[in-house]
Amino acid sequence: MNKRVLRVLPALVMAGAFAAPVSADVDSRTYIVPAISYVGADEDRLADDNAGLQLGFGKAVNDRWNMEFSLVGDILERTETEGDLKYEQAGVLIDGLFFFTRNPGFAPYAVIGAGALNTSYGGDNNNNTNPMANIGLGFFRQLTQGGTQLRLDARYRIDEDNRQVDGGKEHERFEDWLVNIGLAIPFGAAPQPEPEPAPEPVAEAAPAPAPAPVVVDSDGDGVPDDQDACAGTPVGAKVDARGCELDSDGDGVVDSKDKCPATAAGIKVDTKGCEIPEVVVLHGVNFVSGSDKLLPESLAILDEVAASLLKHPNMVVEVAGYTDSTGSKAFNERLSYKRAKSVRSYLITKGVAPENLVAKGYGPANPVASNSTAQGRAENRRVEMRILSK
């Protein structure tokens, strides 16, 4: 490989890697990689294969690329020679890792990089430093919730050392094979999802007008207090002769709160007066990443769900939990079931009868969007309510 190419290769890799920012779905923490290597020596070295060591530091720079800086070293002893002849090698590498997918269960990548390798052979007088490059394939596999990963790769290394070894052939460079295995250990705590912005403050309702001198109408609905069967009616609401808000379609939700007027008789409705469908996706019900702990903003949504269920004490529903396809199927099925149980437990605290709630976890089954994008994975992480019996 041309030495000029080796000099510009790191710059080309870095230019490609930093072409796009890292997304929120990618763990951007700096990590350290202690690893051991099996070095398959070029036959022109006339040396035995041996083990080596590697210590790397890396970081994701966008959705596809990681950059790493590594220190490498190995000792290769000459085959069938008198004396203590051996290659003592130490060097530095700058690598770019291109990921085909970021799946925690199996994240394959291609690696390309360049650096310098210092080789001492048979004493100080045979010490030199030459450019080197490597290219290969490997994968990461997440081992812990904290982000520690197993890492395994195989690399083809080019060492631009053209020294003539006694008994060896003429050559321009050494070409070795390496197999590396180690652990990628991130620094710091795992990233948490950003909290949703606080809702805008709601303006307080205007106070009711002052009562007339003779006729007292505290809620201003046009019905005197001594005839008002529904005191405290909201300002502007239409009421009947008894001072109670109108419920024109008789669904149990007054007109001022009924978002679906003219509901047919006998239809089960929610607190907004709209028909409860057979399957309801609880948009906005979210959890701490990798956990079954509900986020605070989910509680208001579940309060409305509980109120709707309390209107229909004979209704039996299934709480169904789903995940995206990231991680193993077994882990996702357990996590989705725990999340469904968390929602069920919260609804019970709000008064819903336990026998009317069934929790089930389906893991990555029945996706509603593609798992190949961050938006699709977010849509697939959901909780549904399914009516089993009305």
pLDDT in tens, 53-73: 999 999 999 999 999 999 999
Would you give the DSSP letter of residue 232? T
Tell me: pLDDT of 196 over 90: no
Q: Whole-number mean pLDDT of the chain? A: 85
- Mapped onto helix, strand or coil, the DSSP state of residue 346 is helix
Does the pLDDT of residue 16 top 60, yes or no? no
Backbone torsions φ then ψ of 125, nearest 5 degrees: -70, -15
- Quick one: pLDDT band at residue 45, thresholds 50, 70, 90? confident
Residue 158: CB atoms within 10 A of its CB come to 21
**pLDDT tier at 3 (50, 70, 90 boundaries)?**
low
Neighbouring CB atoms inside 10 A of 337's CB total 19
**Residue 384 three-state SS:** strand
Q: Strands 127-142 and 149-159: what pairing?
A: antiparallel
Kindly list the domain boundaries of the chain, sorted by start residue: 3-186, 208-246, 277-389
Summarize pLDDT for 151-161 with one digit per residue, the tens.
999 999 999 98
**What pTM, to 2 d.p., does this model score?**
0.47
- 188 compared with 205, residue with greater pLDDT: 188
For the domain 3-186, what is the CATH code?
A: 2.40.160.20
Q: What is the pLDDT of residues 209-268, one digit of tens each?
A: 766 557 777 767 677 877 777 777 777 777 777 768 776 666 667 767 767 876 766 666
Q: Report yes or no: 165 and 80 within 8 Å, Cβ to Cβ.
A: no
Question: How do residues 272-300 score in pLDDT, each as one tens digit?
Answer: 767 677 899 999 999 999 999 999 999 99
Name residue 111's beta-bridge partners.
Answer: 97, 136
What is the share, in percent, of the chain residues with pLDDT greater than 70? 83
Place of tokens 């009616």: 233
Query: In the prediction, which pLDDT does 208 show?
Result: 78
Superfamily of domain 277-389: OmpA-like domain (3.30.1330.60)
* pLDDT at residue 331, as a whole number: 95
- Please determine whether the domains at 3-186 and 277-389 fall in the same fold group of CATH: no
